[in-house]
Amino acid sequence: MKEIKITSKFTIYENSNELSSSNKSLLLKAIEARNNAYSPYSKFSVGASLLLENGKIILGNNQENAAYPSGMCAERVAIWNAASQYPKIKIQKIFISASSKISIVNKPVSPCGACRQTITEYEVNQAQNIEIFFTGETGKIIQANSINDLLPLAFDKTLL
Ligand code: THU
């Protein structure tokens, strides 16, 4: 028997001014997507922007539903949007931004478990890491260099 320790590494940016100009543009795209979210029930809006290897930027936002479980998160809307349009093109980065009509979201909002699992699927398939940047409406931005840092010991197709 032995114990192992799994460590994750993150980069913390104090605000968007610390991002490179191309990353700042991607964050602005995530905010643009967030502003089009359909979140009348939770009042919590999330936007995601993806940078693909071919230079295309693909957006998604959360889409809620009166039958609550029928809604979908921004990250999965964006990833499936990309996968449906460009199934063979690798995803390099995803930016996630969240805001609320009820309170100020000043902490980084990390992707939910189901979205982490979905990102894992595409990172494993493309055999190339996906950088994940997430933030709130204001405040710090957190960068992970791979979904492994957010979902270690993930279930993936190599286990089937
Ligand atoms: N939401 C996302 O879009 N992404 C996440 O990773 C967490 C939650 C959405 C789902 C729902 O519309 C709202 O935020 C509140 O949970």
Q: Which atom of ligand 1 is nearest to the CA of 46?
A: 3
Global model pTM greater than 0.95: yes
At residue 87 the predicted structure's pLDDT band, cuts being 50, 70 and 90, is very high
User: CA-to-CA distance for 131 and 87, rounded, in angstroms?
Assistant: 18
**pLDDT digit string, tens, across residues 24-37:** 999 999 999 999 99
Instruction: Give the separation between CA 138 and CA 136, rounded to whole angstroms.
Output: 5
When pLDDT is cut at 50, 70 and 90, the band that residue 112 belongs to is: very high
Is 137 annotated in the active site?
A: no
Q: What is the dihedral of CA 134, 136, 137, 138, to 10 degrees?
A: -90
For residue 48, the ligand 1 atom closest to its alpha carbon is: 3
State the Cα–Cα distance between residues 138 and 40, nearest whole angstrom: 21
45 Cα–ligand 1 center, Å: 7
User: Mean per-residue pLDDT for 38-48?
Assistant: 98
Query: Which one of the listed residues 3, 32, 75, 123 is annotated catalytic?
Result: 75
The residue extents of the domains of the chain are 20-137
30 touches 95 (CB < 8 A): yes
pLDDT averaged over every residue in the chain: 98
59-83 mean pLDDT? 98
Number of neighbouring beta carbons within 10 Å of residue 79: 23
CA of 9 from ligand 1 middle (Å) equals 24
Specify the CATH class of 20-137 in words. alpha beta
Residue closest to 74 by CA, chosen among 150, 132, 16, 22:
132
DSSP 142-153: EEESSGGGTSTT
Q: Which of 38, 42, 46 has the most ligand 1 atoms within 8 A of CB, as the residue to mutate?
A: 46
Over residues 47-69, the pLDDT tens digits come to 999 999 999 999 999 999 999 99
pLDDT of 124-137, one tens digit each?
A: 999 999 999 999 99
Residues facing residue 50 across a β-bridge: 58, 94
Give the pLDDT confidence score for residue 65 in this predicted structure: 98
